[in-house]
Amino acid sequence: MTFSRILKYNTCHDPATGKFCTGGQKQSPKEKLTAFMQEFWDTTAENPFNPRERITSELVGIEAYPFDDGIHLSFITSYEKKGRGSASRALDALNALADKHQVAMNASVKAVPAAGAKNKKSLTNAQLHDWYGRHGFVKGKYGMIYRNPK
């Protein structure tokens, strides 16, 4: 579901400012998702080669979209040198945003060979599970991982 399609679910919108309510008022799950996506898009840039992907200031690509009453994280990859913590900082920022808007996240972990920076090894599935685990995700059914807001 695209951001524009979930706008119609949000009754907590100020047309004068274009912003959505953020926590002070009672929000429905769809309103929380809309506010999350609004802020996520405001703090990242669209990848010109993949409009579903957002790019952080540290050149980390994130593909995340609303799914049911939460956010599905399709992938996260660093386009800079690996091992410098930029993807971890991007995931921490995404987690903080999810906590702020009280939105759960899920993902399916699958290593992508040569993802991101050129000539760099990507993490294995086991390493990815450990990495997500260090960021608050827990293993669930069917190979999915989950993170509830704090």
What's the CATH number where 115 sits? 3.40.630
**Domain range enclosing 50:** 3-147
**Calpha distance 15→71 (Å, rounded):** 25
Beta 104-108 vs 70-78: how paired, if at all? parallel
Contact between 127 and 83 under an 8 Å Cβ cutoff? The reply is no
Region 33-54 average pLDDT: 93
pLDDT tens by residue, 134-150: 999 999 888 899 999 99
pLDDT tens by residue, 93-138: 999 999 999 999 999 888 876 655 555 667 888 899 999 999 999 9
Q: What are phi and psi of 24, to 5 degrees?
A: -65, -35
Q: How many domains does the chain have?
A: 1
The yes-or-no verdict on residue 1 having pLDDT over 70 is no
What tokens does 21 get? 């309510």
In the chain, the amino acid numbered 12 is C
What tokens does 88 get? 């971890």
